[in-house]
């Protein structure tokens, strides 16, 4: 507490850096995983290899990925893009399976009724499949939000400033208060973003409130 | 960055106390020891919760908390509290491995249909026999799934353990990062990724084999 009292401007700055790393990564994960998941959920022959690749990607350890990714993408080692790209890879790997389940669980009868009513392509996805998949998708997105916020701290090990900087700096200088602050602020940020996701989810599925 | 240098490094640094062979052995031993200790604690507890249907909230809460707490934070906190040496990373990694194992054991036992358990009770099996002869064999694929998730998390996080202790393949990454020795850094990264992927594929195959054995016991 004493450490936080003296250093709160630094904590706020690092919190800002952290948010700038995780929010684009979460948004990109959703934008990529939802269409890929729908493809995997509706076409089993395509889905199995896609989900297999996702499982393998998720098994790649984080710090080695941060080191390898710049080599693969031709980026500098210390760059926010590298961290965001790595976080996006994990986010997509986590979310694709849930997205495939979400779209796979859309009632085939409803889907066909919509086709009979004249929906096709984009309209079918946007106005029928997606709204019905949102509740399951949302549970997957919440997992991605929470784990991305925690994972982003690893970036501090390659020199990218985030809340993880409090962990490495506190460890190297032997200030327990700084490390504790880093852990607590990271967990609080994860919970706040999780709560926001939940609220957005409620707002975009008004029919569920009526049913409940 | 020159990939040729990385391959030269990978080909020539196997021997010696700080060589790839020794670091690989440390990494594997640490992973094995941590998963074993965590399994001894978490598996019986998870099976108990699954069998009695009491305390399921504990499982959910531990999984949620584990997801939110940054692993690097746990490692550095234990490192500061316990000093250099292996005690801090072992303890931190055991704590990280517990939720997956607990959730796997709980879900494995919990998903056995109640009718099957009641039938076993009706033919006269004791509660201990039901756990050993009915719930554990039928829940095995899910329990092994938990073991797989925990092992992967530990082998991955053991890389970060090298930040607070002189152990494992992660040393190559941290030495390389500090001295800007890209060949060593990228070489170390390739080794860790290869190890994780080999473990993942092996454990996934084991899980598949066990579930085939459960669903088609005669084959």
Instruction: State the complex-level ipTM.
Output: 0.89
Nearest Cα neighbor of A143 from A112, A80, A210, A97 is A97
In this prediction the pTM is: 0.92
* B179-194: average pLDDT: 93
**In chain A, which residues touch B (CB < 8 A)?**
55-56, 59-65, 67-68, 70-71, 143, 146-147, 149-151, 153-154, 156-158, 163-164, 167-168, 170-171, 174, 176, 179-180, 182-183, 186-187, 190-191
What pLDDT, on a 0 to 100 scale, did the predictor assign at position B68? 86
- 8 A C-beta contact, residue B150 and residue B100: yes
Distance of CA A2 to the CA centre of its chain: 33
- State residue A79's pLDDT score: 86
Mean pLDDT (chain B) is: 92
Please name which of A48, A89, A47, A45 lies closest in space to residue A65, comparing C-alpha atoms. Answer: A89
DSSP B162: T
Average pLDDT over residues B176-180: 90
DSSP string, B3-48: HHHHHHHHHH--SSTTSHHHHHHHHHHHHHHHHHHHHHHHHHHHHH
Convert the pLDDT of each residue in B152-170 to its tens digit. Answer: 999 999 999 999 999 999 9
Q: Shortest CB distance from B159 goes to which of A55, A61, A147?
A: A61
Closest CA to A142 of A58, A35, A29: A29
d(CA A20, CA A18): 5
- Determine the Cα–Cα distance for residues B79 and A174; give it in Å rounded to an integer: 10
pLDDT digits (tens, 9 = 90+) for A69-120: 998 888 887 889 999 999 999 999 999 999 999 998 888 899 889 999 999 8
Cβ of residue B3 closer than 8 Å to a chain A Cβ = yes
A198-212 per-position pLDDT tens digit: 999 999 888 877 654
pLDDT-derived band at B67 (thresholds 50, 70, 90) equals: confident
User: Is the pLDDT assigned to residue B15 strictly greater than 90?
Assistant: no
Which chain B residue has the Cα nearest residue A183?
A: B73
CB A83 within 8 A of CB A152: yes
| B192 to chain A: closest CA residue | A64
Element (H, E) at B197: helix B182-215
Q: Say yes or no: B113 contacts chain A, CB-CB below 8 A.
A: no
């Amino acid at each position: 507490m004493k450490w936080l009292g003296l250093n709160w401007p630094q904590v706020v700055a690092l919190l800002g850096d952290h948010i700038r790393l995780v929010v684009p990564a979460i948004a990109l994960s959703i934008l990529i995983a939802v269409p890929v998941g729908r493809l995997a959920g509706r076409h089993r022959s395509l889905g199995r290899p896609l989900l297999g690749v996702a499982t393998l990607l998720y098994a790649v350890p984080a710090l080695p990925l941060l080191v390898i990714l710049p080599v693969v993408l031709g980026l500098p080692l210390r760059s926010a893009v590298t961290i965001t790209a790595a976080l996006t890879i994990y986010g997509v790997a986590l979310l694709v399976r849930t997205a495939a389940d979400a779209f796979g669980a859309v009632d085939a009868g409803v889907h066909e009724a919509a086709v009979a009513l004249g929906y096709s392509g984009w309209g079918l996805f946007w106005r029928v499949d997606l709204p019905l998949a949102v509740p399951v998708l949302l549970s997957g997105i919440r997992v991605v939000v929470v784990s991305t916020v925690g994972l982003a701290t690893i970036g501090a090990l390659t020199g990218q400033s985030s809340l993880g900087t409090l962990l490495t700096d506190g460890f190297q200088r032997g200030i327990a208060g700084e490390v504790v602050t880093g852990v607590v602020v990271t967990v609080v940020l994860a919970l706040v973003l999780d709560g926001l996701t939940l609220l957005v989810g409620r707002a975009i599925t008004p029919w569920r409130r009526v049913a409940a | 960055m020159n990939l040729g240098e990385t391959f030269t490094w990978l080909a020539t640094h196997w021997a010696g106390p700080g060589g790839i062979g020794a670091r690989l052995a440390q990494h594997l031993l640490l992973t094995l020891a941590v998963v074993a200790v965590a399994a001894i604690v978490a598996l019986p507890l998870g099976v108990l919760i699954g069998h009695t249907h009491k305390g399921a909230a504990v499982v959910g809460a531990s999984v949620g908390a584990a997801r939110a707490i940054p692993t690097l934070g746990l490692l550095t906190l234990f490192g500061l509290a316990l000093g250099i040496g292996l005690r801090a990373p072992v303890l931190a990694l055991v704590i990280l491995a517990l939720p997956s194992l607990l959730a796997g054991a709980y879900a494995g036992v919990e998903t056995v249909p109640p009718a099957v358990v009641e039938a076993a009770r009706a033919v006269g099996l004791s509660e201990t026999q039901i756990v050993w002869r009915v719930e554990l064999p039928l829940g095995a694929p899910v329990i092994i799934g938990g073991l797989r998730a925990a092992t992967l998390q530990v082998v991955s996080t053991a890389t970060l353990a090298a930040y607070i202790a002189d152990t494992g393949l992660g040393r190559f990454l941290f030495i390389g990062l500090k001295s800007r020795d890209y060949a060593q850094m990228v070489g170390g990264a390739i080794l860790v990724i290869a190890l994780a992927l080999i473990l993942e594929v092996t454990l996934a195959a084991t899980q598949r084999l066990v579930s085939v054995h459960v669903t088609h016991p005669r084959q």
